[in-house]
Amino acid sequence: MRHSSLLARAHNALLDWRYGIDTRGIFDVGGSTSYEHASTNDYWLLKRTIARLDPHSDDVFMDIGCGLGRPLAVAARMPFRYCVGLEQDPVIAARCKANFADQPKVIVAQGNAESFHYTHVNALFLHNPFKASVLDTVLARIERTRNRPLKLVWMQINNTHRAVFQRYGWDLIDNRADAEDVPIGLYVKS
């Protein structure tokens, strides 16, 4: 195992301990052909990625496919008004809710992104939670239920996903990879 990998794992474990949560692990999403596997990212990468949303005190952050909530832990320490996590899997959602039971700024909902009402959120985070066909349905739902301009950051973006965003009129304003060459797309929708 590489030295940097050991340091990252130790740093992530330390921050989980400091925040009083457990976000370690990779989970199968029941053999779904529409949803991707659940995994975690390093806190340092999440902090830099979520900061691209340029958070303000009137912004409401949402992690679609929040897993155990590591991005929620990062966003809760930024100047968002509050943070919402949406997780489809009931077992994972229950563990995420337990992670944030004592944090009123964080709300965790169990459900799917295709039927959620996006009325109050305006800063969306997605770490490749589903395939392009589901993204198409989710973006249509967002378009029907939102009531304010949106900012969205997508980690692990690929050309198929980019085409779906383009079809729905989202403007790509930043398409840089991070230091680990993780492709990240930052989009806005007026």
**For 149-173, what is each residue's pLDDT tens digit?**
999 998 887 889 999 999 999 999 9
Any idea where the domains of the chain sit in the sequence? 3-189
Task: Decide if pLDDT at 178 tops 90.
Answer: no
Q: Are 136 and 166 in contact (CB under 8 A)?
A: no
pLDDT digits (tens, 9 = 90+) for 28-72: 555 444 445 455 788 888 999 999 999 999 999 999 999 999 999
CATH of domain 3-189: 3.40.50.150
For the entire predicted model, the pTM comes to 0.88
The DSSP secondary-structure symbol of 170 reads P
Q: What is the pLDDT of residue 1?
A: 39
Q: What is the pLDDT of residue 158?
A: 84
Q: Percent of the chain at pLDDT above 70?
A: 89
Q: Are 36 and 99 in contact (CB under 8 A)?
A: no
Indicate the Cα dihedral angle 156, 160, 164, 167, nearest 10°. Answer: 130
The DSSP secondary-structure symbol of 57 reads T
